[in-house]
A and B are shown apart, each in its own frame.
Chain A
């Protein structure tokens, strides 16, 4: 046992270093006013500054892209939940036979490359509703689809962890219709799943580049690509910022999910 623990510790350290070293390097590159060639042990504590970050986060282009990405993220979360909460609940309560099929369907975005998705949809849309793709918000449906594997799974896990059938029947026998059963009984019990579905969608939208650039929309990742040329330090600070924000979101999700699952597991069946 002891030896296993020691190995686990070393492994953890190695993995940690694997992730942390590039980030540290990135941090030095972004926040130190030292020519790249001189970055070394001797300059470790020299000329640290957050000026590049301030420059880039206050630039108009960043604000434009950031604002769009935020709105896209919120809308994608909203649309995902509006479509998926009723769907997964319906599947779990009435159509458990179809669950495997829906699950398979939800993994399609992993299999179909984003470029195929974009080409397919845009050629279909151009000939039917040409105005659709001109709005930047045309990205929302794409993001809902791309986030589908994560959103479906989060909600599915949430619904699996409760005795849904009994809770629904208890609620209905007590006089609650479907709307109130979903809002008063089901949603509070899959809160963890809803929160993690939301955060994951959020993270997907903040990081998605392929679709946005193919459709020529100016989102945060598109900004990063564009600004790399004239303000490399600035774009790296934004990149770091995105990583930290995303990591925080995932951390929060984890905490909420874990706290919840303890409560759920103790109710028994």
Chain B
């Protein structure tokens, strides 16, 4: 994790719209060259946080600092931040070169220098030779590349990406996602990336900030939030999750039926609790194997290298998913097999978590 120079800092930023609290005390620091993703369901406050950074919204209280200077009340056009929007935002009456050169023009750069820099930026997003095209002559992916070039050409201190990929189709999205990451780390600009797509967040980010109802749930590396979710919301929101009911005895021993689980549940008051477990922590074995539960195969979902097998536990009829390497899957529907639960990274949900 990078601990370099801090570029952007939110301190206790709050914002409500009428009765709706969009952001309830938001704290976040972003270092130079770092890409932080704001991830959460719609209405979680991620876009509000981004718009506060951009200067399009004023927080009701709290501050935003850029390189240690308070910019909370600075107008948007003086902040020197590049932004790429969800909607195609290119100026329809300007061609690609003019669009990319716009930020340089308003900064008073001479036409010759402007064009040179714009063309270099267009080349960087691999649109060589398309400088004379107009936005309506470009595909969605190309338009977002131009928007990216336009946002980076004046060397902003912060890059703000507001769901830039959500209007694109799956293939283009994955391609552009990787390119954004590559370009961002080449340029070394502090970046906020807003998305509701967890795959996107996991694959692109240095750190992910997971939000819900205006509150930050967890800030951590993609590995952190996936493997060590701070709470049940994060666990459910990032990646798939099985939910299995367990019994907790008075002496703090967790079990499913006869099977005793290797789990720390001393802080849970029984008699039952919910265990959250990733599909890749579930595996299959011969029925009757030591430490396994019996289950029936109810379906499987093949997706190339891996297969998701759906299993109904005989004990309580709960259906769980097991993510397995396809080669290892030889089961058929209706077959009775054993299920092994790797509870090492399981999350136990308390009553009111």
Mask, A210-248, CB within 8 Å of B = 1, is 000000000000000000000000000000000000000
Q: Roughly how many angstroms separate A167 CA and B94 CA in the complex, as a whole number?
A: 12
Minimum CB–CB distance for A99 against chain B, Å = 19
Mask, B132-146, CB within 8 Å of A = 1, is 001110001000000
Across chains A and B, the number of contacting residue pairs, with CB separation under 8 Å, is 86
Verify if A169 is at the interface (C-beta below 8 Å from B). yes
Minimum CB–CB distance for A165 against chain B, Å = 8
Q: Using a Cβ–Cβ cut-off of 8 Å, how many residues does chain B contribute to the interface with A?
A: 34
Q: Is B135 in contact with A173, judged by CB distance below 8 angstroms?
A: no
- Stretch of A28-36, A141-149, A175-183 at the chain-chain interface: A175-183
Verify if A268 is at the interface (C-beta below 8 Å from B). yes
Chain A residues within an 8 Å CB radius of B147? 170
Mask, B174-203, CB within 8 Å of A = 1, is 000000000000000000000000000000
Verify if B31 is at the interface (C-beta below 8 Å from A). no
Given A174-B102, A174-B106, residue A269 in contact with residue B88 (CB < 8 A): yes
Q: Which of B79, B82, B90, B106 gathers the greatest number of chain A CB atoms within 10 Å?
A: B106
Docked complex: B56-114 residues within 8 A CB-CB of A:
56, 75-83, 85, 87-93, 102-103, 105-107
Q: Is A162 in contact with B92, judged by CB distance below 8 angstroms?
A: yes
Chain A residues within an 8 Å CB radius of B135? 267
Q: Is A177 in contact with B77, judged by CB distance below 8 angstroms?
A: yes
Q: Which of A166, A177, A267, A269 gathers the greatest number of chain B CB atoms within 10 Å?
A: A267
With CB as the reference atom, state the residue of chain A lying closest to B85: A166
Q: Is A167 in contact with B91, judged by CB distance below 8 angstroms?
A: yes
Minimum CB–CB distance for A256 against chain B, Å = 13
- The A interface is mostly helix, strand or loop, or mixed, namely helix
Minimum CB–CB distance for B148 against chain A, Å = 12
Minimum CB–CB distance for A185 against chain B, Å = 6
Q: Is B102 in contact with A173, judged by CB distance below 8 angstroms?
A: no
Q: Is B91 in contact with A189, judged by CB distance below 8 angstroms?
A: yes
Minimum CB–CB distance for B128 against chain A, Å = 22
Verify if B10 is at the interface (C-beta below 8 Å from A). no
- Which A residues fall within an 8 A CB radius of B? 162-163, 166-167, 169-177, 180-181, 184-185, 188-189, 191, 263-264, 266-269
